[in-house]
Structures are given as structure tokens and as C-alpha cells.
Structure 1
Amino acid sequence: MRPLLHTLCGLLAAVALFAIMVLTFADVGGRKFLSTSLPGALELTEILMVLVIFAGLPLVSLRGEHVTFDSLDPWLPPAVRRVQQAVVDLLCAAMLAFIAWLMWNKAGQLADYGDVTARLKIPLAPFVYAMSVLCAVTAFVHLMLLAKPVAHHHAGVDDTA
């Protein structure tokens, strides 16, 4: 499951980031050499940034690379740290699942209202649905970490896990 998540989320983030790069290059080149900006470049960049950020969430969680406060870790026994990390993973899963649910409901509202971007008239609901699904995937990743944690920031887990 982890290799599949790495591949799918990594590919989505990479393609969106590459599209941002191409879009920015075309927009800046158009302004510099043709004295005209690419219509809707800002809207597209915003949408693509959403994809980069939310596709990166499961990857960051899978690798245990979230920002952590670990100044007390040297004084806590490994068993206490493992319980602490399990509780944190459980709380993260619960909060991300709740956020996914809220976003799913919001996407439904956006779809009902027919909300679109200002300039290019791109429907917003599919992107909010994607955000919701990626939050749910990240919640699932945190549940996976309860069963099989990664070495980084997890006490008593070696690098081969």
C-alpha cells in the first residue's frame, strides 16, 4: 500500500508542480516578450498549488516528516514515547477524517451552487472533492502508522520498517 501511495501522490504533486513551472514560464515570457499576461494564470496556479499541497500531505505523513516538538523525548522511556506517538497518530487521523468530511460537504455545496473561478469559469467542486479525498487518504495513512510506524519520529522503530 505504501509504494502505491508514494507513486500516486508523488506523481500528482510532481505533475501539478511541473504545470505550475510551465505556466509561470509562459506567463512571465508572455509579459516580457509579448506585453501580455496569460489569461487566468493566477487561477490555474492557485488550483495547482492546492493539488501540490494536498497530494503532499499523505507523503509527509508516510515518512513521518511533520514538524514535531521533541525536546522532551530524551527523558521519556521508549514505551511512553511509542504510546504518545500512537495517540498523536490517532488524533491526526480523527482530525483529518473530520476535515475530509467537512470538505466533502463543502464541495457538495459548491457543486449545488455551481461555483466557478472568476476568470476561466473552472468549476471549484472537483478540486474541493479532491482535497477531501486526499485528507481522507492522509487520515488512513495515520491509521496505517498505528499498525506499522515509520522509523522517523517513532520510538523503537528501525530504519528498515
Structure 2
Amino acid sequence: MVLSSVFANGFSTSNRITQQLNFDSQFHDLNQFIRNDLRRAGFAIEGTRAGAVKWKDSPQTVFVNAARDCLAYAYEYTDGGVDKVHYSSLYLNDSSELKLYTKQKSITEPPKNITAACTGGEVISVSSEIQLASFVVDISLFPAIAVAMSASSPVNGAQDSSQLNVTVVN
């Protein structure tokens, strides 16, 4: 009986630790993805286009909507020898999930309009394991960008928050 109790407690503790590590890992990965991708904002393969790689109608290389919960940016890259533009936007949907919209186009195609930045895309935070309570972006010190997020785990109630300070390097 005692051994069964010890085994059950050990299994329960192990399960809680695994859930916490899973949540921490996913939140960390989400932060890393945002930081690494956002650093490329405005990057131009040709120096003459530096600072001009952006969504159509955006006043600068990084766009944030009035609610400060949608972030849009673009950068150039080479795919198999073809120069392309990568359009991205990140925003919090009504289900507390972070959505990522991406579109790749050739450089000669017209840029995407900024009004489409906060729609569509795919969920990049798994709602069964991480729920974002907030996603707020501040570009008042551009090219420094601050991204603040807080999240909780629906599995075990764990909570975490982060403040990313990213400098756009282009």
C-alpha cells in the first residue's frame, strides 16, 4: 500500500514537472521565433532598397495597428536563386492564440496591402498547451521594438510573461 502511494505521488510529480517544462519550452520557442524573424524586418538584398521593404501603405518597415496587438513586417530573402519578399504579421486572435500570417512573393510582384495584415494565417501557439493573455507591441523607439507577452497553461495553470526588446537589423 505504501509503495503504491509513493509510486502514485512520484508519477504525479513527474507529470507536473513535464507539463511545466513543456509550457516553458513552448513559450521560450515562441519568444525566440518572434525575436529572430523580427530582426530581419526591412532587410533588402540590394542596398538601394534598404528600408523600403515593407507592406504596402505602411509608413515604415514595421507596422503596428492602433490597438498595438498586431505586428506586420516584411523582408527580402533568396529561395533557390530567386529573390523574394516575405510578408509576416503576428496578432492575437479571439481564442487567445497567436496567429502568424506569412506570404512569399517575388520581388517584382506588387506588395501586399497593410489592411490584410491582421487577418488570416495560422495559429503558432497551441491553445491546448499555451494561452496568451496579452500581446502588446511598442515601436515608439524604432528601430528598437518592444514586444510584451503573458501566457498561461490551461493544463496546469502555470504562468509566464516576457518583454522582448528587439532591434531591427537591416
Q: TM-score range by the shorter chain?
A: 0.3 to 0.5
Higher relative contact order (CA 8 A, sep 6+): 1
In proportion to residue count, which structure has more strand? 2
TM-score normalised to the size of structure 2? 0.32
